[in-house]
A and B are shown apart, each in its own frame.
Chain A
Amino acid sequence: AQKVTQAQTEISVVEKEDVTLDCVYETRDTTYYLFWYKQPPSGELVFLIRRNSFDEQNEISGRYSWNFQKSTSSFNFTITASQVVDSAVYFCALSRPQGGYSTLTFGKGTMLLVSP
């Protein structure tokens, strides 16, 4: 069975602070994919990043960076110099291929509140 744990329910920071959102996953599959999605107050789910299990290179996209460590089954997300617009719920998710029809297992999400 797959499981995604986001231990941080809510994080509050002041604008311009750096913040790291933790994600720990469990899977028996050797091939899998990890995702982060953002859910702003308006409710939609916005895709941020996808990582496959064979690619442990960290990735940076602007103020966002992701640290994938297979040894600790973690896929953490860091926002540098946070902004008020970053306030949202962030979901980490895990998928596995099943004949090409993969489905996502989501964590419970971390609510990030960035205050001015």
Chain B
Amino acid sequence: EPEVTQTPSHQVTQMGQEVILRCVPISNHLYFYWYRQILGQKVEFLVSFYNNEISEKSEIFDDQFSVERPDGSNFTLKIRSTKLEDSAMYFCASRTPPDGTSSYNSPLHFGNGTRLTVT
């Protein structure tokens, strides 16, 4: 079964450094998402992306964050200047487009996550 792939599985960085988290969504999916989960807390929406632009973002997704689909397969999340509070598990997700027969909201398929540790 196709999977959403995220790399690296664990990234350690120093405060103030830039990090790029990488994701390869399922190949025929068109909607892409980033979520994060601070240790022991709930999963929170960051941003959704469709047709090469951000379609929705949360309050968490401030100017330090950006997303990009640099080619036909990768979807990246960049944090420009990391803070201690950015330490979390970051999940990439994707889903199929709606069609005439399937549910309007097909389920999100999540990757295994990248654990980001900011020291």
Residues on A facing B (Cβ under 8 Å): 33, 35, 37, 42-47, 50, 52, 91, 93, 95, 97-109
Contacts and interface: CB of A to CB of B under 8 A. Distances in A.
30 contacts: A33-B103, A33-B105, A37-B110, A43-B113, A43-B115, A44-B112, A44-B113, A45-B43, A45-B91, A45-B113, A46-B110, A47-B108, A47-B109, A52-B104, A91-B43, A93-B43, A98-B56, A99-B55, A100-B97, A101-B31, A101-B55, A102-B105, A103-B33, A103-B48, A103-B58, A104-B43, A104-B108, A105-B45, A106-B44, A108-B42
A45 B42 CA distance: 12
A47 B98 CA distance: 18
B101 interface: no
A43 B103 contact: no
Contact of A44 (B41, B98, B108, B110): B110
Interface string B76-119: 00000000000001010100011000011101111111010000
Q: How large is the interface on B (under 10, 10 to 19, 20 to 34, 35 or more residues)?
A: 20 to 34
B29 to A, nearest CB: 13
A103 B42 contact: no
Contacts of A44: 110-113
A109 B89 CA distance: 15
Contacts of A100: 31, 50, 97-98, 104
B42 A97 contact: no
Nearest to A95: B105
A72 to B, nearest CB: 22
Interface string B45-76: 10010100001101000000000000000000
Nearest to B55: A101
Nearest to A103: B45
A109 B55 CA distance: 27
A7 to B, nearest CB: 13
Given A43-B112, A43-B113, A103-B56, A97 B105 contact: yes
A44 B43 CA distance: 12
A23 B100 CA distance: 30
Given A45-B110, A95-B105, 16 more contacts: A33-B105, A43-B113, A45-B43, A47-B109, A52-B104, A52-B105, A98-B56, A99-B55, A100-B97, A100-B104, A102-B105, A103-B45, A104-B35, A104-B108, A106-B43, A106-B44
